[in-house]
Amino acid sequence: MAQPRVLVIGGGLAGLAATMRLAELGVGVDLVSLVPVKRSHSVCAQGGINSVNALTRQQGDNEWKHFDDTVYGGDFLQHQPPVKEMADWGPRIIDLMDRLGVPFNRTPEGFRDQRRFGGTLYKRTAFAGATTGQQLLYALDEQVRRYEVEGRVKKWEFWDFLEPVLDASGRCRGAVCQDLVSMKFKAFPADAVILASGGCGLVYGRSTMSMVCTGSAVSRAYQAGAAYGNGEFIQVHPTAIPGADKLRLMSESARGEGGRVWVPRTPQDPRDPRSIPEAERYYFLEERYPKYGNLVPRDIATREIFDICTTDGLSVEKDRLCVYLDLSHLPREMLDRKLGGILEIYEKFQGVDPRVVPMKIFPAVHYSMGGLWVDYERSATGGMEEGSIRNQQTSIPGLYAIGECDYQYHGANRLGANSLLSCIFSGLFVAPSVAGLATASRAGEETPRLFEASLRRQEERHEALLGRRGGQENPYALHQELGNLMTRVATVVRRNEQLAAAYDEVCVMEDRWRRCSLSDTGNWTNQNVVFTKSLGDMFPVAKLILKGALLRDECRGAHYKPAFAMPGIAATDPAGKRREAEAWCDRFEANTRKWLKSTIARHGADGHPQISFEDVDTSLIPPRPRLYGLVGADVIEEVWKERSRGAADDAPAATGAGRAVAAHV
Amino acid sequence: MIQLAEDSNVGGPGAADQGNGHSDTMAGRTIHVRVLRQDGPGGESYWERHAVPYEPNMNVISVLQRIAERARAEDGRQVAPVAWDCSCLEEVCGSCTMLVNGRTRMACSALVDRLLEEHPGEIELRPMSKFPVVRDLKVDRGRLFRALERVEAWVPVDGSYDHGPGPRISPEEQEDAYPLSTCMSCGCCLEACPQYTKIEVVQREGESAEEFERRRTAAYDRGFVGAHAISQAVLFNGHPTGRMIADERLQALTSAGGIQVCGNAQNCVAVCPKHIPLTRSIARAGRAATVWAIKRLFDR
Ligand SMILES: Cc1cc2nc3c(=O)[nH]c(=O)nc-3n(C[C@H](O)[C@H](O)[C@H](O)COP(=O)(O)OP(=O)(O)OC[C@H]3O[C@@H](n4cnc5c(N)ncnc54)[C@H](O)[C@@H]3O)c2cc1C
Ligand code: SF4
Ligand code: SF4
Ligand code: FES
């Protein structure tokens, strides 16, 4: 390996951004993907991508506020330096994508147009029609194609990543992958391997994610020893359209452009929604959250919609839980121009025109905040040190993770339009780290033998699967069972007894998986065996999600356990309110001390996840309570502010770092 | 709790009032599916019949999923699942193109209720005919991506380092470019085009992978580039920076397999699932190519 060479697994936004930068830095890249990279899941992103911009800046916005919104939205469960770095890079990233030709929507004067997304008060979100993800992905795909023509990138499309290859010291030296057409195996020696394999929605059966979001690549890295962080934090999107094969997303931009969520005040009112008078409609988000209205953060919108249907019994339909998402009051021309693409999806798959009739929607599994644990090096200004080989490195040296498959940027809950940013950012940012490594590291003598052993292991696993006879289990049916179970117990509302029981059930399913038999035993484009393999790799991920959720006895972001919820204030008299607010803040502080920690799972030899907890770097912005819509929020906030002022006076050194950086920005 | 597969299969979701007239009458019925299968490249193709229980709100993908799950043909024989491509399931990734009831289209947006209205009794699935079959409904569309290289479908930026924002673009220009930029490389336009004929190159014995690839690329490059690539050339020639290599694109469009091959049959625009104005792109490219050819004549 005279020339430095890096293996990138996955060609979504993250993988393509990394590939582009690496090629530019003169590093050769092998790019492996289950599907042609242009067909990666990132194409599904509709709404947009966040960053501070010239306009919001003049309204008082800045990178620090974007950073603050991100950590506040994420309930402070993310290390702050990487998030700060990402927010700082935001404007440059949008500029770059603009230069690459992304057809962002324009203002009459020819500037990029922006919209507002959940969890912020600023219009930070740049968008390209209703297919922003597709447009961003294509722009990167085009640049990578350019490098491919120049011979700097080699694509391996329709290939499956099977395992990282580690040397005796535990360093990653490459990987073994399989050609999904010829079913042949191949070793890919590399100076570094970057996983950019996206989310794991298929663990939940049906979700808003694409069929390739099996989480298999991440699971394989985890089983090879990589630590997994915050697995239990799974974002359930508030608004999806139910379907037999997929739960199709209705983007948050529908609400960003003025869509209103409501239910009839009369349960299951049989009237045509259009004929229900205003007074008989319950705009529950607007009433309960006057400040953010329909644009409350995702976890809150999801729980409210879920609750109004289950607890309050106000679902629009009886058999199928759903609420109205109404755009019918908005001008058709504006809807077509700004939301055309997503409205077509509704029309296409439901056969109803959402410009005329309110849509029916319900929450669905959407995004995985958790993912492979990755490292970073803090810079002097509180961001990330560019070029450090630690950035985005998993617990396996030489193995990196970026994009949705890392755990780094979104904490307990991701803000809308922040993921595309984190994907491109982590992709660009990892490149110099890995490029430095690529010239520094040299594989040892023993490496060829390692690859042979790894190839043999994978071939044997494959043959064993093909050779299974007389099993009773059908992998597709088993997958549905797993998905139903996970959706039932590990989404919006979580209860310990259910989680514990589900964990045991998943272990039983995993055993049953070993008895799955294949209906295709051939060795040519055998999708049956590929699916069955990836199903087998879903169980370790399901188990770490359940275990993490079970252990975390609190409510944080997307993780909600009613048994540990902190109710608002019941008292009505000022003194009583004050007393309760003090107690509330005490409890919040105690909870922060106990639970403001990332869940770290490691694959145990017995197949069970070994859980430990990692402290979170909150040195830049001290954690504060998320009080959206809580009864008595004002009193609690008052008490909280007094306390934080007091703390700052008492211990100037402790918050000094954060302040210095704040002044810098 | 939320949107379980169970809820949505039987009668519940979708069946309510969301515009599928068949659901009540069809419940408990069976959908008959005829699939044109082929075990591998160059092999014989053969028809196979499948029966799948009807569910409301199904699309062709969910039909294929049920076929994979059952792994039995209609006559009860155990058969390998049908191979096919899909990913996004919302008609944006371009994976799942096939011939459904003889029409080239995306399987994920082909709703069973509609298909049965069009053609009661049976759904017929065939692989695209203009691309080499890999297996069953899965074809090799490498040539389609190669065409994007031929026309240099990218903005030739200096690099990815910060140089401030891109050029100012009017809303009109954006609205012009955006539809062209939604091309998902599905290949429907190529399947429908009378001028786009199948090119299948088979690896020779003893030929290395690199040699084979080189020979295949050369063969592709002699063939027609196709409507999608012409439209991409128009997209990038319209972009203020993309335009800087407009001549190179026009050169590609006027060489062998270029725009002159197009017979203007307009089949392409009729089948594009993204409603991309392909004939307008072809007309624009044609005009630009003519002007360019004349200019070159004088420059000599
Ligand atoms: C419907 C929808 C709408 C969204 N809208 C927005 C939005 O508006 N704004 C926003 O910020 N975010 C949005 N998101 C989230 C965002 O789209 C994703 O988080 C992001 O695209 C993930 O990009 P990625 O590069 O990490 O991975 P992906 O785009 O998922 O790519 C993963 C890649 O890895 C490959 N891969 C996976 N497993 C393997 C394997 N075993 N072997 C080889 N290759 C493998 C795949 O082939 C693919 O190329 C949305 C998500 C959904 C589901
Ligand atoms: S107009 Fe040209 S590209 Fe389109 S179908 Fe006809 S011949 Fe093919
Ligand atoms: S132009 Fe239309 S039909 Fe042709 S590849 Fe693009 S999206 Fe498909
Ligand atoms: S599966 Fe993506 S277009 Fe049909």
Give the 3-state DSSP-derived string for chain B, with helices as H, strands as E and coil as C: CCCCHHHHHCCCCCCCCCCCCCHHHHCCCEEEEEEEEECCCCCCEEEEEEEEECCCCCEHHHHHHHHHHHCECCCCCECCCCCCCCCCCCCCCCCCEEEECCEEEECCCCEHHHHHHHCCCEEEEECCCCCCEEECCEECCHHHHHHHHHCCCCCCCCCCCCCCCCCCCCHHHHHHHHHHHCCCCCCHHHHHCCCCCCCCCCCCCCCCHHHHHHHHHHHHHHCCCCHHHHHHHHHHHHCCCHHHHHHHHHHHHHCCCCHHHCCCCCHHHHHCCCCCCHHHHHHHHHHHHHHHHHHHHHHC
Task: Tell me, yes or no, whether A123 and A272 share the same domain.
Answer: no
Residues of A in contact with B243 (CB under 8 A): none
Hey, is A122 helix, strand or coil? coil
Task: Tell me, yes or no, whether A259 and A360 share the same domain.
Answer: yes
Give a yes or no: residue A461 inside a domain: no
Give a yes or no: residue A561 inside a domain: no
- Domain end among A321, A350, A365: A365
Q: Give the model's pLDDT for residue A344.
A: 86
Q: Give the model's pLDDT for residue A2.
A: 56
pLDDT higher than 50, residue A379? yes
Task: Tell me, yes or no, whether A602 and A619 share the same domain.
Answer: yes
Burial class (CB in 10 A: 0-12, 13-18, 19+), A286: middle
- A298 an active-site residue? yes
Residue with CA nearest ligand 3 atom 8? B186
**Residue with structure tokens 């009773």?**
A472
pLDDT tens digit sequence for A455-512? 999 999 999 999 887 667 999 999 999 999 999 899 999 999 999 999 999 999 999 9
CB contact set of A352 (below 8 Å; sequence gap of 6+) = A346, A359, B18, B19
Give a yes or no: residue A305 inside a domain: yes
CB contact set of A367 (below 8 Å; sequence gap of 6+) = A199, A234, A235, A237, A404, A410, A414, A419
Q: Give the model's pLDDT for residue A307.
A: 87
Task: Tell me, yes or no, whether A385 and A355 share the same domain.
Answer: no
Distance CA A428, CA A19 (A): 8
- Closest-approach residue (CA) in chain B for A154: B210
Q: Give the model's pLDDT for residue A444.
A: 67
Q: Give the model's pLDDT for residue B300.
A: 67
pLDDT higher than 50, residue B23? no
Distance CA B269, CA B228 (A): 10
Distance CA A600, CA A614 (A): 7
- C-alpha of residue A248 to centroid of ligand 3, in Å: 22
Distance CA B54, CA B31 (A): 6
Task: Tell me, yes or no, whether A388 and A343 share the same domain.
Answer: no
**Residue with structure tokens 């051939």?**
A522
Q: First vs last Cα of chain A: how many Å apart?
A: 43
Give strand pairing partners of B104: B99
pLDDT higher than 90, residue B6? no
CA A343, chain centre distance (Å): 24
Give a yes or no: residue A203 inside a domain: yes
Q: Which of residues 3-42 of B touch A (CB under 8 A)?
A: 3-9, 11-14, 16, 18-20, 39-40
Task: Tell me, yes or no, whether A80 and A154 share the same domain.
Answer: yes
The contacts found for A105-109 with CB under 8 angstroms, 24 or more apart, are: A105/A129, A105/A338, A105/B171, A105/B174, A106/B169, A106/B170, A106/B171, A106/B173, A106/B174, A107/B171, A108/B171, A109/B168
Give strand pairing partners of A235: A367
Please state the atom number of ligand 1 nearest to the C-alpha of residue A207.
53
The mean pLDDT of A392-403, rounded to a whole number, is: 98
Query: Considering Cα of A518, then A519, then A523, then A525, what sign does the dihedral take?
Result: negative
Q: Give the model's pLDDT for residue A1.
A: 45
Q: Do B93 and A245 touch (CB under 8 A)?
A: no
Q: Which residue has the higher pLDDT, B23 or A257?
A: A257
pLDDT higher than 60, residue A663? no
Residue A191 belongs to domain with CATH number: 3.50.50.60
Give a yes or no: residue A556 inside a domain: no
Token pair in block for residue B194: 């009378």
What is the CA angle B96-B101-B106, rounded to 5?
20
Q: Which of residues 145-174 of A touch B (CB under 8 A)?
A: 145-146, 148-149
In one letter, which amino acid is B199?
I
- DSSP letter for A224, please: T
Residue A441 binned pLDDT confidence (cut-offs 50, 70, 90): low
Mean pLDDT, chain B, rounded, equals 90
Give a yes or no: residue A560 inside a domain: no
Query: Considering Cα of B270, then B272, then B275, then B277, what sign does the dihedral take?
Result: negative
pLDDT higher than 70, residue A440? no
Hey, is A597 helix, strand or coil? strand
For chain B, list the domains and their CATH numbers. Answer: 8-135 (3.10.20.30), 141-299 (1.10.1060.10)
CA A513, chain centre distance (Å): 27
Check CB contact of A98 with chain B, cutoff 8 Å. yes
Residues in chain A: 665
Residue A347 belongs to domain with CATH number: 3.90.700.10
Check CB contact of A184 with chain B, cutoff 8 Å. no
Q: Give the model's pLDDT for residue B27.
A: 61
Beta strands in A352-466 (DSSP E): 359-368, 371-372, 399-401
Task: Tell me, yes or no, whether A20 and A162 share the same domain.
Answer: yes
Ligand nearest to the CA of A221: 1
B60 CB within 6 A, ligand 4: no
* Residue A350: domain span: 238-365
- DSSP letter for A617, please: -
Maximum average pLDDT range among A441-445, A446-450, B24-28, B233-237? B233-237
pLDDT tens digit sequence for A208-218? 999 999 999 99
Which residue of the set A5, A298, A494, A552 is catalytic?
A298
pLDDT higher than 60, residue A522? yes
Q: Do B93 and A96 touch (CB under 8 A)?
A: no
Hey, is A441 helix, strand or coil? coil
Contact A139, A93 (CB under 8 A): no
Give a yes or no: residue A608 inside a domain: yes
Check CB contact of A612 with chain B, cutoff 8 Å. no
- DSSP letter for A604, please: -
- Domain end among A313, A345, A365: A365
pLDDT higher than 60, residue B25? no
pLDDT higher than 70, residue A438? no
Ligand nearest to the CA of B104: 3
pLDDT higher than 80, residue A548? yes
- C-alpha of residue B88 to centroid of ligand 4, in Å: 5
Task: Tell me, yes or no, whether A514 and A424 share the same domain.
Answer: no
pLDDT tens digit sequence for A63-79? 999 999 999 999 999 99
The mean pLDDT of B187-192, rounded to a whole number, is: 98
Residue B26 binned pLDDT confidence (cut-offs 50, 70, 90): low
Q: Give the model's pLDDT for residue B265.
A: 85
pLDDT tens digit sequence for B117-167? 989 889 999 999 999 999 999 999 999 999 999 999 999 999 999 999 999
Query: Which mutation among B276, B278, B279, B280 tests ligand 3's pocket best, with the greatest number of atoms within 8 A of CB?
Result: B276
Check CB contact of A351 with chain B, cutoff 8 Å. yes
Mean pLDDT, chain A, rounded, equals 92
pLDDT higher than 80, residue B186? yes
Residues of A in contact with B145 (CB under 8 A): 36, 38, 145
**Order of strands across the sheet that contains A172-179:** A159-166, A172-179, A185-189
pLDDT tens digit sequence for A216-261? 999 999 999 999 999 999 999 999 998 878 999 998 889 988 999 9
Task: Tell me, yes or no, whether A46 and A59 share the same domain.
Answer: yes
The mean pLDDT of B239-248, rounded to a whole number, is: 97
Q: Give the model's pLDDT for residue A297.
A: 78
In one letter, which amino acid is A255?
R
Q: Give the model's pLDDT for residue A484.
A: 92
Q: Do A135 and B181 touch (CB under 8 A)?
A: yes
* Report field, pTM of the whole predicted structure over 0.90: yes
What domain count does chain A have? 4
Token pair in block for residue A85: 């770095």
Distance CA A616, CA A611 (A): 16
Task: Tell me, yes or no, whether A132 and A211 share the same domain.
Answer: yes
- C-alpha of residue A26 to centroid of ligand 3, in Å: 34
Half-sphere exposure of A607 (CA within 13 A, CB side): 13
Q: Do A248 and B148 touch (CB under 8 A)?
A: no
Task: Tell me, yes or no, whether A76 and A175 share the same domain.
Answer: yes
- Closest-approach residue (CA) in chain B for A245: B62
The mean pLDDT of A152-163, rounded to a whole number, is: 98
- Domain end among A306, A338, A365: A365
Give a yes or no: residue A464 inside a domain: no
Task: Tell me, yes or no, whether A431 and A475 share the same domain.
Answer: no
